[in-house]
Structure 1
């Protein structure tokens, strides 16, 4: 099992290109099932999660061809011949988002059998909303021995669906299925994340008829078939925000290129409040900080977009561990998303957790120690803490990190971080 070692104390100076968004790419990959024509996705990240989903798509008979084009990394998906609609546990368990192939398979072929998902352990995150929405679209669904079997022999039918709470996954899943349903579907209390907007625009390019882009109510007029085409994956706002926080934590000056600065406004506003210098230059974000001056403690509360992203909560908490004063971090999206706290404490952080609220008492210095990644985003918070901790910090179980951050060591190392991967290292504790 790989681990990553970081020698703390190095400032970061240079530029980091922002990759395509993982959370968008994997849903666009699932959308390739909806058409029998080739779909080319450019600005594609090369990650463990995209590799897992690529394997699952190949299992269905989809041709998946990786390449390099004018816009960088790209992948061509050709679902002209669906040879299987069965998604086994061994393929689905590796990533929760794999479950989102159910709707596209059902809409395209009229039947599918998909394993219930696995993925990060950051709360229950049940798929009940997904199943209920597909049922409202006319699917007949049975749950048996960990599998969801769904049929719609006469095709799916449009419906008015109001989600009981905002769910990104359920919104995306239902949206894809509804594009080929007969009649009109209305999704109320839909999520508004940029990745959903990316999916809406790609589906529209493919011939879908969707109204309500970037609003909490989407109207989908079903069509008989979708076309192929070429679409560029939106920049990864979580990666962009993570490296922005890393630069602020280590000090120095880092330019994040090929991003969408407006997508992380909730984060950069809080960073400025804490004393970080942020400059927006077109699509680039420049982060400056003199590490001699301590940052100020700032409170955050995670919210649905455009609020503070839950996927940046752990990273910001790491930043606050060395800020002056006490900050309060409130998590309102996922339960059980403070699992990184004990690991940060091993590095000398002083954090008290009460329910969905963590009080972070800033300390002047962190001290290196072996730590263990608990989920994807928490992994990055430990890398960041290692950048400033005295001595060498070793982060174990970085397979979590590999699911969402492309060429991490290369990108940070190019800016001066003393970071290296240790192949096949045993668990540290």
Structure 2
């Protein structure tokens, strides 16, 4: 299985290793990218700005107010990211570079907010009362941090993808404020687009695309591991898990047989066999499916305690059965054998069937207690799906949680790629209105 970018998560509801990241942290990271995408596509986001540009430089400049608003919204979301969320989408040094870049972005938005409160336009050509210098200093600080993040190999992963919109908006604002000219802006956008290319290149280690492909492979591997476990006829947990991967509710049935040797006085004293006694146990397991921002998870496994059961002796007499036993599909039941049970002479005495015919009700009642006890103590599969049903459901959930973690990772990667794709359209629209520059330069 591929390691990917994200540290191992704990199984949902399971014990948490010391270095694990809680599942809710991954869900929070997913929520961040959902918010960024909503901003891209909303009325006040980059999508709306992109639609207004139409390849015109003067329009790029005139969009400063909208750019400042969009940048303020995105940086506010980024500023609220907790340390554990950052650990979920980046390694330690990448986190440090992320925080430095975020600090630069926040400094830019602080100047923009002050200008707005004072009724000052930061657009080039206006009287800005010294705020332009502070804005330039803030942008340069951001640019240096951004460069270090871009040049770091783990800077092409999800942690950088969370910043792509904010970074282009900051450059857009710097251009509109006259801090950088058309050529400089074009060069910066060219480097940014090259960076996006690296993020979506699955051949590059630590890229978002590589993480996406690894997550897909990891999920397939976890599913195959469950299917492999299900091939063992005695692995109730693996079998139920495999069934629940495909269906929301499943019935699992086991028929266990037992041959019994007992002493009887009828018709003559001696040992006799009662062969082909069988114990049927059928239980229902279900799993709740929950959507977490597009990641459909196997959230909780349930065991229905209203199981169906039947004890039938080798003489074809049914000693007891649950009312709805007829609903069980016998042909789908799994077959097991408990081998042979040797009763003692004293057992026939205590069971009060020593002098009973093998076709009598008293015989059935007497010998069935010993047979039932054997089934209870030795029918491990049947016990796993019934008596130990809750414990089995919890074990099933642990296996499904391994799949859940990869589903979350895959959804996170998908949203990262969608964010990059939306940002690319925005950056290319800006670049189309600027001088053409040669891409691929450091």
Whichever structure has more strand as a proportion of its residues is: 1
User: Structure 2 length normalisation: TM-score?
Assistant: 0.22
Larger radius of gyration: 2
With the length of structure 1 as denominator, give the TM-score of the two structures. 0.23
